[in-house]
């Protein structure tokens, strides 16, 4: 399979580093990424170790069997326009938040798959990414059901060494991931704590409340996600990634714009009743972004 991974940040670099063992990979990144990887390859350290030499470019290739999108949610529309002229067999979003798949599908003339990835990743420098924890990749048709493209993509991810699931219930899985992100990312970013601080620390109930509110909104959208399941998912991920620094905390500490609009903002946009915890967390992160001239 010819795979194009768009985004050479933490997750994109990890995805490209592992996929290169099972696919013909092109990693699309910034000029600094291109220069570093062309000179010394792409290195994955930590829980998984690889040193590979994928093709690298600042622009997507003209053709690919699968474009794996791993950019921040606020860059999805830009990436969709960049990919619009490519001859693609399909696309897969492994991004945070809701709505990325719809944004891609509105522009691309190919099937767009939904996916989630719970591998921990931290980009150390261009060409070097640390895998901070082994998780799983789940992918499937964005509206649920069977997909031959998902089956083919899943086989490639599996061959590359990822713990992979091809799922027929992606809407529920996306909302579950949103509950996890809503419960973990804003509290850890605002408090500057590792994920494990949400297991039994003072912020535990805040994380649980955000998960319950997200589940309630999911049910109003026709997705069967119970409060208990959402809370359990948050606690399971927080415990499994206890030593990890969440992606939103990484962004805050680096002075970068966060994905709060695609996480807390996505819950608020769809809520038909009060979600006070999610609203408070979202307003606080947005306030930090505004104070730092990031929005």
Domain boundary among 103, 136, 166: 166
**Together in a domain, 228 and 92:** no
**Together in a domain, 177 and 191:** yes
Residue 204, domain CATH: 1.10.1040.10
DSSP 48: S
Give mean pLDDT, residues 4-14.
96
**Together in a domain, 124 and 31:** yes
**Together in a domain, 71 and 10:** yes
By C-alpha distance, which of 216, 223, 220, 125 is closest to 174? 223
68 beta partners: 5, 92
Task: Write out the catalytic residue numbers.
Answer: 177
Q: Are 215 and 230 in contact (CB under 8 A)?
A: yes
Q: Which residues of 4-21 are buried (b: 16+ CB within 10 A; e: fewer)?
A: bbbbbbbbbbbbbbbbbe
69 beta partners: 6, 93
**Together in a domain, 48 and 135:** yes
Q: Are 80 and 101 in contact (CB under 8 A)?
A: no
Domain boundary among 111, 143, 166: 166
**Together in a domain, 146 and 106:** yes
The SS3 call for residue 160 is: coil
Q: What is the pLDDT of residue 60?
A: 96
Give mean pLDDT, residues 32-49.
96
Residue pointed to by tokens 């805050």: 252
Residue 134, domain CATH: 3.40.50.720
Q: In what order do the strands lie in the sheet with 66-69?
A: 55-57, 24-28, 2-6, 66-69, 91-93, 112-117, 137-141, 164-166
Taking the C-alpha atoms of residue 99 and residue 231, their distance in angstroms, rounded to an integer, is 22
By C-alpha distance, which of 74, 6, 11, 70 is closest to 289? 74
Q: What is the pLDDT of residue 295?
A: 86
**Together in a domain, 11 and 129:** yes
Is the pTM value of this prediction over 0.85?
yes
Give mean pLDDT, residues 28-33.
96
Domain boundary among 131, 166, 201: 166
Taking the C-alpha atoms of residue 12 and residue 3, their distance in angstroms, rounded to an integer, is 12
DSSP per-residue codes, 227-286: HHHHHHHHHHHHHHTTTPPPHHHHHHHTT---SGGGTHHHHHHH-SS--HHHHHHHHHHH
**Together in a domain, 94 and 143:** yes
Q: In what order do the strands lie in the sheet with 120-125?
A: 50-52, 42-46, 128-133, 120-125
Structural domain for 280, as ranges = 170-291
CA–chain centroid gap for 16, Å, is 14
**Together in a domain, 114 and 207:** no
Q: 216 vs 120, which has greater pLDDT?
A: 216
Which residues lie below 8 Å from residue 246, measured CB to CB, with a gap of 6+? Answer: 184, 185, 188, 189, 195
Q: What is the pLDDT of residue 177?
A: 96
Give mean pLDDT, residues 97-126.
95
């Amino acid at each position: 399979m010819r795979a194009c991974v768009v985004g050479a940040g933490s997750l994109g670099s990890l995805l490209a580093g592992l996929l290169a063992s099972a696919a013909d990979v092109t990693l699309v990144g910034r000029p600094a990424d291109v220069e570093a990887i062309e000179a010394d390859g792409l290195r994955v350290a930590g829980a998984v170790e690889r040193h590979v030499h994928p093709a690298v470019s600042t622009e997507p290739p003209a053709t690919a069997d699968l474009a794996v999108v791993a950019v921040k949610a606020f860059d999805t529309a830009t990436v969709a326009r960049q990919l619009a002229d490519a001859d693609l067999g399909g696309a897969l979003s492994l991004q945070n938040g809701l709505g990325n798949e719809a944004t891609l599908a509105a522009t691309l003339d190919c099937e767009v798959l939904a996916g989630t990835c719970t591998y921990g990743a931290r980009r150390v420098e261009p060409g070097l990414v640390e895998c901070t924890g082994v998780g799983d990749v789940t992918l499937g048709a964005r509206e649920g059901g069977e997909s031959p493209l998902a089956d083919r993509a899943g086989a490639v991810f599996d061959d590359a060494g990822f713990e992979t699931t091809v799922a027929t219930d992606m809407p529920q899985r996306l909302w579950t991931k949103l509950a996890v992100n809503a419960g973990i990312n804003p509290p850890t970013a605002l408090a500057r704590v590792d994920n494990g601080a949400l297991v039994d620390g003072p912020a535990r109930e805040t994380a649980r409340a955000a998960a319950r509110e997200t589940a309630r909104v999911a049910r109003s959208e026709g997705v069967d996600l119970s409060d208990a399941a959402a809370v359990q998912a948050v606690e399971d991920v927080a415990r499994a990634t206890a030593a990890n620094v969440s992606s939103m905390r990484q962004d805050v500490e680096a002075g970068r714009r966060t994905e709060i609009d695609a996480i807390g903002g996505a819950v608020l946009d769809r809520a038909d009743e009060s979600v006070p915890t999610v609203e408070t967390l979202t307003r606080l992160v947005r306030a930090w972004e505004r104070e730092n001239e990031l929005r």
